[in-house]
Structure 1
Amino acid sequence: MYKIGDKKLINSWAFYDWANSVYSLVISTAVFPLYYDAITEGKIVQFLGIDWSHPSSLYSYALSFSFLIVAFISPVLSGIADYTGSKKKFMQFFCWLGGLSVMSLYFFKDVDTVWIGIVFTILASIGFWASLVFYNAYLPEIALPEQQDRASAKGFIYGYTGSVILLIINLVIIQKPELFGITSGLASRLSFVMVGVWWIGFAQFTFKKLPGNIYNKKPAEDYLWRGYQELQMVLKEVLGNPSLKKFLMSFFLLSIGVQTIILMAAIFGSSELGLSSTNLIITILLVQIVAIAGAFLFSRLSDKYGNIYALKTTIVIWMLVCFAAFMLDKNQPNVGIYFYGLGGLLGLVQGAIQSLTRSTYSKLLPDTEDHATYFSFYDVTEKIAIVLGTAVYGVLYAITDSMQWSVLCLAIFFLASYIILSTMKKTKYVH
Structure 2
Amino acid sequence: MLKNITQKFSKTEWSWIFQDWANSVYSLMITTAIFPIFYKSVTDAAGISSSDSTAYLGYANSVATILIGLLAPLLGTIADFPRVRKPLFTVGTMLGIVAVFSMMFTSNSGWLTLLVLYCVSAIGFGMANIFYDGSLMDVTSRNRLDQVSSAGFGFGYIGSVIPFLIFMVFQLGGFFDARTTVNIGFLLTAMWWFVFTIPYWKNVEQTTYSVKEGNLLASTWRSITNTLSEIKQYKHISLFLIAYFFYIDGVGTIIKMATSVGTDIGLSADELIVMLLIVQIVAFPCTIIYGLLAKKFGTRSMLFVGISTYMIICIIALGLETYNDFLVLAILVGTAQGGIQSLSRSYFGQMIPGKNTNQFFGFYNIFGKFSSVLGTTALGIVAQLTDDSLKGVFALIVQFLIGAVLLYLAKPPVQEQLV
TM-score (norm 1): 0.89
Q: Look up the match of 1:140.
A: 137
Deviation of 1:141 (Å) = 2.5
Q: Look up the match of 1:254.
A: 247
Q: Look up the match of 2:90.
A: 92
Distance 2:53 2:378 in 1: 20
Deviation of 1:235 (Å) = 1.2
Q: Look up the match of 1:405.
A: 391
- Asked if 2 retains the 8 angstrom alpha-carbon contact of 1:22 and 1:195, the reply is yes
Q: State the identity %.
A: 30
Q: Which of 105, 108, 114 is equivalent to 2:106?
A: 108
Deviation of 1:215 (Å) = 4.9
The higher relative CO (CA closer than 8 Å, separation ≥ 6) is in 2
Which digits, 9 at most, give the CA deviation of each residue in 1:83-132, with x for residues without a partner? Answer: 34411111111111111111111111322x44542332222111101100
Two-structure CA RMSD over aligned residues (Å): 2.2
CA 1:216–1:344: 2 relative to 1, 3 Å = closer
Q: Which of 351, 360, 376 is equivalent to 2:362?
A: 376
Residue 275 of structure 1 aligns with an amino acid whose one-letter code is: L
- Asked if 1 retains the 8 angstrom alpha-carbon contact of 2:59 and 2:380, the reply is no
- Asked if 2 retains the 8 angstrom alpha-carbon contact of 1:44 and 1:54, the reply is no
Q: Look up the match of 2:163.
A: 166
Matches within 5 A, 1:110-129: 110-111=108-109, 113-114=110-111, 116-129=113-126
Q: Look up the match of 1:14.
A: 17
CA 1:307–1:11: 2 relative to 1, 3 Å = same
Which digits, 9 at most, give the CA deviation of each residue in 1:7-50, with x for residues without a partner? Answer: 221111011011111111111111121112223324169xxxxx
Distance 2:410 2:226 in 1: 24
Moved more, 392-401 or 132-141: 392-401
Count of aligned residue pairs for this structure pair: 408
Deviation of 1:222 (Å) = 1.3
- Asked if 1 retains the 8 angstrom alpha-carbon contact of 2:243 and 2:406, the reply is yes
SS in 1 for 2:354: coil
SS in 2 for 1:41: helix
Distance 2:45 2:178 in 1: 20
Gap runs ≥5 in structure 1: 46-52
The answer to whether the aligner puts 1:351 opposite 2:338 as a matched pair is yes
Distance 2:117 2:279 in 1: 27
Distance 2:198 2:330 in 1: 33
Q: Look up the match of 1:422.
A: 408
Distance 2:352 2:369 in 1: 20
Gap runs ≥5 in structure 2: 1-7
Distance 1:106 1:199 in 2: 16
SS in 2 for 1:327: coil
Deviation of 1:200 (Å) = 1.2
Deviation of 1:218 (Å) = 6.4
Distance 1:217 1:143 in 2: 18
Residue 267 of structure 2 aligns with an amino acid whose one-letter code is: L
Which digits, 9 at most, give the CA deviation of each residue in 1:347-406, with x for residues without a partner? Answer: 1000110111010011101121x2221111111111111111112223333444433333
Residue 141 of structure 2 aligns with an amino acid whose one-letter code is: L
Distance 1:215 1:324 in 2: 44
- Asked if 1 retains the 8 angstrom alpha-carbon contact of 2:103 and 2:114, the reply is yes
TM-score (norm 2): 0.91
- Asked if 2 retains the 8 angstrom alpha-carbon contact of 1:85 and 1:217, the reply is no
- Asked if 1 retains the 8 angstrom alpha-carbon contact of 2:291 and 2:343, the reply is yes
Distance 1:80 1:155 in 2: 24
The answer to whether the aligner puts 1:361 opposite 2:348 as a matched pair is yes
Q: Look up the match of 2:203.
A: 209
Q: Look up the match of 1:157.
A: 154
Distance 1:160 1:63 in 2: 22
Q: Look up the match of 2:225.
A: 232
